[in-house]
Amino acid sequence: MNLIYNIFVYTIWFLATYYVVLILLILLIGRDKLYEKARKSLGRKPWVSIIVPAYNEEAKISYTIESLKKVIYDKIEFIIVNDGSKDSTPETVRHAIGGDPRFIFIDRKQNKGKAASLNEGIARSKGEFVATIDADSVIEPRMISKVLPYFAEREVAAVTVAVRVKNPKTILHKIFELEYIIGLSLMLKVFSFFNGIFVTPGPFSIYRKSIMEKIGGFDEHNITEDMEIAYRIQKARYRIENCMSAKVYTIVPDTFRQICVQRKRWYSGAIYTLAKHRDMILNKKYGFFGYFMFFNYVLIFMGLFLFLYSTYLLAKNLLENLLYFQYTSFNFLNQLKYFELDYLMLGRTTILGIIAISFTILALLVGLYFTRTSASKRKMGVVGYPFLFFFYQWFWILSIISVVRGKKAKWR
Partner 1 sequence: MRVKRRIFLAAFLITAFMLLTILLLGNLMNLQRKEYVEDKMSIISDLNEIQTYTLMSDVYGNKLACLAFKKKLQEWDQTLWDLGLKLERYRVATEEFQKDPFYQEQKKKFNDNQVLYMSFLTKVNRDCELNVNIISFFYQNSEECKKCDDQSFVLTDIKRELEDEVSIFSYDMDLGLTNLDLLKEYYEIDQYPCVVINEQRFCGMQDKSFIIRKVCETNNLSVCTKYAIG
> Rule CB under 8 A: which residues touch partner 1?
2-3, 6-7, 10, 13-14, 17-18, 21-22, 25-26, 29-30, 33, 193-194, 320, 323-324, 326-329, 331, 334-335, 337-338, 342-349, 351-352, 355
- Judged by beta carbon, residue 24 or residue 261, the one nearer partner 1 is 24
Nearer to partner 1, 219 or 241 (CB): 241
Q: State in angstroms the smallest separation of the CB of 146 from partner 1.
A: 18
For partner 1, give the closer residue by CB, 139 or 159: 159
Q: Secondary structure of the chain: what % helix, strand, coil (to 5)?
A: 55, 15, 30
Q: How far is the CB of 286 from partner 1 (least distance, A)?
A: 17
47: left (phi over 0), alpha (psi -120 to 50) or beta: beta
Q: Are 266 and 392 in contact (CB under 8 A)?
A: no
Other C-beta atoms within 10 Å of 168: how many?
A: 20
Residue 35 or residue 394: which is nearer to partner 1 going by CB? 35
Complete edge-to-edge strand list for the sheet that includes strand 156-165: 103-108, 76-83, 48-54, 129-133, 204-208, 156-165, 239-250, 138-139
Provide the minimum distance between the beta carbon of 347 and partner 1 in the complex, in angstroms, as a whole number: 4
CB of 96 to partner 1, least distance (A): 40
Q: Measured between alpha carbons, how far is 394 from 264 in angstroms, rounded to an integer?
A: 9
Residue 124, C-beta contacts closer than 8 angstroms, at least 6 positions apart: 79, 104, 106
Q: What is the rounded distance in angstroms from the CA atom of residue 298 to the CA atom of residue 333? A: 43
**Residue 260 vs 302, nearer CB to partner 1:** 302
Q: How far apart are CA 112 and CA 393, in angstroms?
A: 31
Least distance to partner 1, CB of residue 13, Å: 8
Closer residue to partner 1 in complex, CB, 6/296: 6
Closer to partner 1 by Cβ: residue 7 or 404: 7
Alpha-carbon distance of 392 to 404, in angstroms, equals 18
Q: Among 216, 220, 210, which residue's Cα sits nearest to residue 235?
A: 216
CB of 27 to partner 1, least distance (A): 11
Report, in Å, the least distance between residue 149 CB and partner 1: 16
Closest CB to partner 1 among residues 215, 302: 302
Shortest spacing between CB 3 and partner 1, in angstroms: 6
Query: Whose CA is closest to 206, among 186, 183, 229?
Result: 229
Contact 368, 375 (CB under 8 A): yes
Give me the phi and psi of 212, to 5 degrees please.
-60, -40
CB atoms within 10 A of CB 106: 17
